Chains A and B, each alone.
Chain A
Amino acid sequence: MDFSQIIVILATAIATATPLVFASVGETITERAGVINLSTEGTIMLAAMVGFAAALATGSVIAGLAAAAVLGALVALIVAFGAITLKQSQIAIGFVLALLCTDLSSFLGNPIVLIPGPTVPSLKVPLLQNIPLLGPLLFQSDLLVYASYVLIVLVWVFLYHTRPGLVLRSIGEQPAAAFARGSHVVRQRYFYTLLGGALVGVGGAAFSLDFKAGWTYHLTAGYGWIALAIVIFGGWNPLRAALGCYLFGILQSLANVAQSNIQSVPTQVFSVAPFVLMILVLVLTSGDWLERALAFIPPTARRSILRTIRTRAPAALGKAFEQD
């Protein structure tokens, strides 16, 4: 395998990962606020269809992306209303929406199956694209991909270095305490659920307008569940979630290469990886055996090691906020 081949594999990995980056970073935001939006599988699919249809109708990719974002936020609004206001099970509502939106995408998207439509134009960044290695890898794709880089950094900075970001983390941990400190828990949970949903929607459009340009039935099958798994794998941290997405991308990209050589095993088998990793992460972080295993390390070093490995769901994730 020569050098250019590796570049191609990695570039494909980034392209594969981009829609997932939008979705998993969006879901990370939602879950950080304490709400599980389990509808991602359906949201991505329906947003892919709606985004493509809107772009087709208007001829504008921007309109397509906007329509997908609005659709994502609308689905999230149903989740938010059911979970936050009606205090119903977030799981039940999210799950039904996942199935419903998937079927809606096939039903309503029937007329535009396999029709050529607008795509996000490729845009090579001047100067930067000429950097050896990094240039072809990172700066010879399109605006949506660049936007995903920006999004990752932006959300990470927002969460860990801004005041509203700190508040967002606090309402997902202890909403009662956050309320005591002046946060409008309900309003903020609505906002971040909708924002996260909109990003998941953009993730859908990133499929139909870019990575898998066009629309067909079940275009994005499985990617919504994968995004959910990556959020857990990423420990509710946007940087690590993005890393998870790229890892998945590399795996897929390698699988494609492998398949052209080995042929016997289809790529679907490789889709299992994120889920196995997710379960492993869940097992690793449950209970306190990790602490016990590291007991022999000096406390200060142990603390930083634990902080690096150990991830924990927001304490109030999935729970309704009762203000008494």
Chain B
Amino acid sequence: MAENAPPNSPALSPTWQHPRNTWLQVGALVISLAIVALLISFTGASPVSVVANLWDGAFGTTDQAARVIATLAPLLLCSSGLIYTFMAGLYNLGVEGQIIIGAIAATAILRGLQGVLPATLVVALSIVAGMLGGMLWSLLAGVLNVYGKISEIFSGLGLNFVAQGLIIYLIFGPWKRPGIASMSGTEPFHQSLWLVRFGNTDASPVALGIAVVLLIATIVVMRNTHFGLRLKAVGQNPRAAFLMGIPATQLLLSAFALCGGFAGIAGALQVSGLFHRLVPAISSNLGFLGLLVAMLVNFSALWVLPVAFFFSALNVGSLQLPMVLKLESSLSGVIQGMLVLAALLSRGLSQWKPSR
């Protein structure tokens, strides 16, 4: 009877951990990794050597380990931001576009204020600008969602491509390199505008620091603040939350703004910390990867760090697979996708009642 049925639980709502859940999830993860191993064997390589190579690729040299850190920082930012939107029951697929707009806004500041203000100040301003840019782009989807009842999924996807179009237009148009415009991006910035780095590596302590601080802030917000709890309430049961007097509109918009802001900062850091110029692939798909992280950790912000670290290591480690094993580096994505798919399906299986 409808009386006793549980409320419509969105797929990503936190499930109460029954022992059956845990076993199912562990089982599903094992099966998914077994499938990956099979796929690797199918291509003629040995799964063991792949694991060894992934490890070596990620941590073999200081440079490579630094690259893991350089990937980790923006990934942490995106995943932390997405925790807010997921908690509010939103699928912010527009996160890629929010990174891009953040990067564009940061580039605009770096280009415009270069030499006008002290370099450190310009870089700091560029990060703020990135945050604001990402926020605005995200709020666009947010306003469409809250006031226009337009699914954030499709508007987000659409805005991703609009952002992509904009960045390409800028790189090939107004911001093109003197002489030739190309996919390799704008003219690199002067070294004074580069973010501080660990030695001569790709990793920047500033980027990592910002990311870790915001992750910790997110964990604290989710665990200890009224805002976090209200977000959770609205995400899980908007009707009950409304009847309790929780203002959903403000909360949803702030979730969009926060996520967009975090993604925008990530975009700004990609510009000043990693590429030192604006490139078309500035987001490096880290927004989508962040979505996978957020789906895998299933609302618990505490797990973001280990999962994001693991995913970053996979991404960097897989880069040398083509050279050593003649395997495509997209293996990292295959592993990540398989894990998340297994987690989603096992969550479903644990709630499944094969009644009728």
Which residues of A pack against B, CB within 8 Å? Answer: 38, 78, 81-82, 85-89, 91-93, 95-97, 99-104, 106-111, 217, 222, 225, 228-229, 232, 264-266, 268-269, 271-272, 275-276, 278-279, 282-283, 286-287, 322-324
Contacts and interface: CB of A to CB of B under 8 A. Distances in A.
Contacts of A107: 39, 43, 327-328, 330-331, 333-334
Given A92-B91, A96-B340, A275-B157, A85 B352 contact: yes
Given A93-B344, A99-B337, A100-B341, A283 B144 contact: yes
A92 B154 contact: no
**Interface residues of chain B: helix, strand, loop or mixed (majority):** helix
Nearest to A317: B151
Contacts of B12: 89, 92
A82 to B, nearest CB: 6
Interface residues of B, number: 59
B158 A229 contact: yes
Contact of A108 (B39, B157, B333, B345): B39
A175 to B, nearest CB: 14
B168 A269 contact: yes
Contacts of A86: 345, 348-349, 351-352
A110 B341 CA distance: 23
Contacts of A110: 43, 326-328
Interface stretch (B189-197, B244-252, B269-277, B288-296): B288-296
Contacts of A232: 154
B348 A82 contact: yes
Contacts of A322: 5
Given A268-B165, A282-B150, A92 B344 contact: yes
A268 B151 CA distance: 25
B334 A100 contact: yes
A271 B161 CA distance: 8
A100 B149 CA distance: 30
Given A88-B11, A99-B292, A268-B168, A275 B162 contact: yes
Given A100-B338, A286-B150, 7 more contacts: A85-B352, A96-B341, A99-B333, A222-B161, A229-B154, A283-B144, A287-B148
9 contacts: A88-B347, A91-B91, A92-B344, A102-B330, A103-B337, A264-B176, A279-B159, A287-B149, A322-B5
